[in-house]
Structure 1
Amino acid sequence: MRPVFLFVSVLSLSLLSAGAWAAGFQLSEQSVVGLGRAHAGAGMAGDDLSSVFYNPAGMVLVEGDALQFGATYAELDAPFTGQNTTYWPDALGGPQTQAGSDNGRGPGELVPSFFYVHRLDERLVAGLGLTVPFGLGARYGNNWFGRDHGISSSIKTLDINPSLAYRVNERWSVGAGVSAQYADAKLRQGGFDPAHGEAYGQLKADSWGFGYNAGVLYQPDAASRVGLSFRSKVRHKAEGDYTNDGFAELGAATGANLGWIDGVYPGHAVVTTPETLLLSGWQRVSPQWALSGSLRWSNWSRFDTLSVHGSPTDLVEGNGPTLIRNHWRDSWFASLGADYAYSDRLTLRGGVAYETTPVPDDAHRNALIPDTDRVWLSLGASYRVSRALSVDAGYTYLRGVGSRSIDHVVTSPKPAGTVSRLTGEYGRLSGHLLGLQLQYRL
């Protein structure tokens, strides 16, 4: 049954991994138990197998062999009201403005995870994690007034992460692993001249990238522990097809040499995911109560520019790759949580967290990543059905705080001097995360 279960898990992750709302496009939803306390004590609580991802040294806390499969349903609400002004050259009519409202929410998505932990001996533990560490999903109508700034985006990932942990002594443990990460990306953008029609460009690409993770666990006594872990950056050069549609007609109608020929061409995008540093702690304060906390740093400042390449734009004289200049900064995530053992079978939990956005200002807030600071409010529970089987559930409400405005400008080399400016504000940014998880002790 083990190989069959593993195959089904891999297949499920490949089909279902998708985007949710997170700082940049980093996802924390690798544990439903963790979801219930806003991921406080990630990797250190020892009440599920997600230490494989958060801190591999924490695998020494797992007794015996165990399997875990979970999924979190995520949805985002991103209503936007504003206007887009395209500054055409005077020969093409000059500035033209469209105003209205739309919502950047994509369909609700599942974020799955799978873990397997196997004890090799009293000191050495092996683990395997299949997770979705990054994801992004936004979708507007094809004809929305801000189509120059993006119509839809989808980034799906699958991270395969085997790890080892070793208990050095009663207080210290270490762990490390390697990651093979698959990414699939789809980006769609539009162009529009009210007098002549519409045009679209779309990139579909995928790639494999590789990285590593490592962690250390310190246990001063049986009632407390603290851990520090690191996950490396992963560089992706996603290669695939770049499709142009409508540019030939638009160019002929306007009399402009747009230089973009309709058709399907080789294309690629270059993205480097950030390295992260996670500090987590857990403390048993009574037979019934335990407290936990986490602090995570993500190096989003390396995501300065997203470079999208397509042969029609790269090969035409005067053109180059499409550059999305983000100028992002590092982001932080801080959380506090508590667990209450209501009975031998039932445990209740809750948590709060605050996460900062990597977006530096309104000028760099992109319609496809309408990111802002957010507050997490979480609740969860675990029920032990039998000695071997337990069921976990968790819910988090996300609320955007701080600036939600956009003042975003894109330029086009053809026709020369064309500039598009999107201004407006998201009425609210909110999200719901609902997770269910099964743990089975072998």
Structure 2
Amino acid sequence: SPYQPEIGTPSSNGTAGAANPTNTNDASALRTNPAGLAHIEQSNSLLVGAQVLTASMRFDTDKATAGGDDGGNAGPLEFIPSVFYSRGFSDDLHFGLGLAPAYGLGADYGESFRGRYSTIKSDLAGAGFYSSLGYRLGNQWSAGLSIAAIYTTLELSRAISTTPLSLNPATDGKVTLDELDDWSPQATLGLMYKPDNSPWTLGFVYRTKTEVDVDGNVDFEGLPLPSAKGSASFDMPESYELGLTYQYSDKLRLFVETDMQRWSQFSDYTVDLGTGPTDYDRSWRDSYRFALGAEYKLAHNETLYLGTSYDMSPVRDKHRTFDAPTDEQIRLSGAYVRQHHSFEWSAGLSVIFSDDGNVDQVAEVTPGTGVTARTAGEFSSYYLMFPYASIRYFF
């Protein structure tokens, strides 16, 4: 799904996000569950991580009205940094600041793609700047609050035919919503329950929806139209997350996590190309996610993380579109951590295998003409890889 459930840290990336609701390891708790900040042992902790997103998204066309090609590898290549700092004001109160990815989605099919009248390129990205507090409510409960400023950028482009009766990419024009951006608030509430002398830890996280109203430029290429100001409005959904940790032995810890993301809130959106707003409905639905993970101590200063997760698709095949071709996903993850006195380093990999991502989309080739083009098929290769590394310094 468009959310990125794990961030560039060992417990998050290495467990496919299964450890997120009960994360008490490091300052990244300010993003995953701010209640976990209250359990960090060190007074000061700095964590810097980075992921590289590389993807294979190759569409095979079964039916197409327009000529052209299949779009090649439409998958993105992105560098995704994250930085977290926490400070303990007392044994019960911790504060944290952080920068981390909030969400992302994109594809670039090229201008000769058979489905170009639907989408040439889509690129949605959100980065969160987080300020968080975690507080112990006695010996067993802790609570946390995070307030984030989410910076969202959006780029969308599609072809417009100048010869509607002869659909040739060489004679097409192009319209691009470019450099659209916006700042939006988001709040995260977290609770954590750790019974005395018990191997169990329970975590709950609620994130509010993010109301996004981006604006920027509308650029036309190969068309007798001047540039204009454009905008788009949509909501990134609220979510509910529940996690459980079990300390099986001194060496082994197990994680279970599930969450619900209310993608029905993302379904309705509005786009304005400078001529007035137009409303759309993606027909998306709420979806669920399930994850399992493990932490194993190889030695006193070495730790191994493993995890897997399953994400339901928020959209049925008949409603899937080229700009957001998400489908159900299976994720496999692992990470290795080595500690050296007051710092540690880690490296890992998360691989997401998506289902076929069937698309059958009809688009008007030239606005107002009623002439349409249909493109139908599926992704023959659809996976994403997130190699990552991090360094943590505590004092």
- TM class by shorter chain equals over 0.9
Task: Give matches, 1:321-340, under 5 Å.
Answer: 321=278, 323-340=279-296
**Residue aligning to 2:353:** 399
**Structure 2 matches for 1:1-80, cutoff 5 A?**
23=1, 25-33=2-10, 34-63=12-41, 64-80=43-59
Matches within 5 A, 1:399-438: 399-401=353-355, 403-411=356-364, 414-438=367-391
Q: Does 1:380 align with 2:335?
A: yes
Q: Which residue of 2 aligns with 1:317?
A: none
8 A Cα contact 1:69 1:438, kept in partner: yes
2:57 partner amino acid: A
Corresponding letter in the other structure for 1:328:
W
Residue 126 of structure 2 is matched in structure 1 by 157
Match of 1:129 among 98, 102, 117: 98
Structure 2: gaps of 5 or more residues: none
- Given that 1:404 and 1:428 are in contact with CA atoms closer than 8 Å, whether structure 2 keeps it comes out as no
The structure where helix makes up a greater share of residues is 1
Bigger Rg, which one: 1
Residues 1:106 and 1:375: Cα distance change in structure 2 (over 3 Å): closer
For residue 191 of structure 2, the aligned residue among 216, 220, 223 is 216
- Alpha-carbon distance in 1 for matches of 2:214, 2:330: 32
* Partner Cα separation in structure 2 for residue 56 and residue 338 of structure 1: 21
1:128-166 Cα deviation digits (max 9, x unpaired): 121111112211111222110101111222211111111
Runs of 4 or more, structure 1, over 4 Å off, are 83-86
- Residues 319-353 of structure 1: CA deviation (Å, up to 9, x unaligned): x53x4431111121111111110111101121111
Amino acid corresponding to residue 174 of structure 2 in structure 1: Y
Per the alignment, residue 202 of structure 1 pairs with: 176
Aligned to 2:70: 101
CA–CA distance in 2 between the matches of 1:166 and 1:424?
52
Q: Which residue of 2 aligns with 1:142?
A: 111
Q: Does the Cα contact within 8 Å between 1:184 and 1:207 map onto a contact in 2?
A: yes
Give the conservation status (yes or no) of the 8 Å contact 2:8–2:389: no
* Paired residue type of 2:305: R
Give, in whole Å, the separation in 2 of the partners of 1:411 and 1:121: 62
Distance 2:302 2:345 in 1: 10
Q: Distance in 2 between matches of 1:104 and 1:273?
A: 27
Change (3 A) 1:414 1:434: closer
- Structure 2 SS opposite 1:429: strand
Aligned to 2:74, what secondary structure does the other structure show? coil
Does residue 242 (structure 1) correspond to residue 218 (structure 2)? The answer is yes
What SS does the corresponding residue of 1:58 show, helix, strand or coil?
helix
Q: Residues of 2 paired with 1:66 and 1:230: CA distance?
A: 24
1:228-256 Cα shifts (integer Å, max 9, x gaps) = 011111111101111122233xxxxxxxx
Counterpart pick for 1:294 among 234, 237, 257: 257
Q: Secondary structure of 2:299's match? A: coil
Classify the secondary structure of the residue corresponding to 1:78.
strand
Q: Of the candidates 273, 293, 300, which is equivalent to residue 344 of structure 1?
A: 300
The whole-number CA distance in structure 2 between the counterparts of 1:136 and 1:104 is 15
- Tell me: CA distance 1:84–1:104, structure 2 relative to 1, closer, same or farther (3 Å): farther
Structure 1 CA distance, aligned partners of 2:196 and 2:247? 10
Query: 2:151 is matched with which residue?
Result: 182
Does the CA-based 8 Å contact 1:74-1:109 persist in structure 2?
A: yes
| 1:201–1:244 contact (8 Å) kept in structure 2 | yes
Aligned length: 386
Task: Find 1:230's aligned residue among 180, 184, 206.
Answer: 206
User: What SS does the aligned partner of 1:60 have?
Assistant: helix
Q: Is the 8 A contact 2:102 2:150 kept in 1?
A: no
Task: Please say if 1:309 is aligned against 2:272.
Answer: yes
Instruction: Kindly indicate whether the alpha-carbon contact (under 8 Å) linking 1:30 and 1:133 is maintained by their aligned counterparts in 2.
Output: no
The code of the aligned residue for 2:78 comes to: E
Q: Distance in 2 between matches of 1:85 and 1:351?
A: 40
Match of 1:266 among 229, 233, 253: 229
SS of 2:202's partner is strand
1:326 partner letter: R
Post-superposition shift, 1:43? 3.7
For residue 28 of structure 1, what is the amino acid of its counterpart? P
Q: 1:390 to 1:408 in 2, by over 3 A?
A: same
Taking only aligned residues, the RMSD between alpha carbons, in angstroms, comes to: 1.8
Structure 1 residue identity aligned to 2:4: L
**What is the CA–CA distance in structure 1 between the aligned matches of 2:61 and 2:31, rounded to whole Å?**
41
Which residue of the partner structure matches residue 344 of structure 2?
Answer: 390
Task: State the 1:211 CA deviation.
Answer: 1.9
Contact 1:399/1:430 (CA < 8 Å) preserved in 2? yes
Sequence identity percentage = 26
CA deviations 1:338-393 (Å, max 9, x no partner) are: 1110111101121111111211x22321112221111111111110022x101121
How far, CA to CA, are the matches of 1:293 and 1:188 in structure 2? 40
**Residue matched to 2:239:** 276
**Following the alignment from structure 1 to structure 2, what is the Cα–Cα distance between the partners of residues 130 and 383?**
23
Q: Deviations over 1:187-218 (max 9, x none)?
A: 11112333772111101211111121111110
For normalisation by structure 2, the TM-score amounts to 0.93
Partner-residue secondary structure (3-state), 2:30: helix
Shift in alpha-carbon separation, 1:31–1:100, aligned structure 2, 3 A: closer
- Distance across 2 between alignment mates of 1:280 and 1:188: 39
